[in-house]
Homo-oligomer: A and B are copies of this chain.
Amino acid sequence: MEKITRFGVSIEPDLLEKFDSMMKKKGYSNRSEAIRDMIREHLIIEHVKDPCAEVIGTLTMVYDHHAGPLVDRLLQIQHDHYQEILTTTHIHIDHNTCLEVLVLRGETQNIQTLADSIKAIKGIKHGELVVTQRSL
């Protein structure tokens, strides 16, 4: 079991009230949990600024699978980077549109470059990368 420590926060009563109300709106039942999540979020934002940090990323992309040699290009680039791509999830959104989510692992800068080069493929209509940390 993990050990738990405690610290106290002094705060203006009306700021605490607003925090409690936002917390509830977001579905938290526990102040400590909400504070810990805010802390983790800030740590991640700082961490992933370092281009050499080891991170996990997910690249979400939308494309039309009829778009010429797109699927071949995509497969090739994914195989060239098989060590950084942990898995691929593919959803058939409608007759033409595919959603694909890649889970990536590596240094921030490599993950970013890989995501950029995939997003640049002709036919990829939108791509967005989320980067997070493995251990928090």
Contact = CB atoms under 8 A, between A and B. Distances in A.
A5 B20 CA distance: 14
A62 B97 contact: no
- Chain A binding surface SS class: mixed
A66 to B, nearest CB: 9
Interface of A: 2-13, 15-16, 18-19, 22, 25-44, 46, 56, 58, 60, 62, 86-87, 89, 91, 93-94, 97, 99, 101, 103, 116-117, 119-120, 122, 124-126, 128, 130, 132-136
Given A38-B39, A56-B99, A126-B133, 9 more contacts: A6-B8, A19-B42, A26-B119, A27-B120, A37-B125, A44-B126, A58-B101, A62-B136, A101-B103
5 contacts: A3-B12, A12-B36, A22-B46, A87-B91, A89-B103
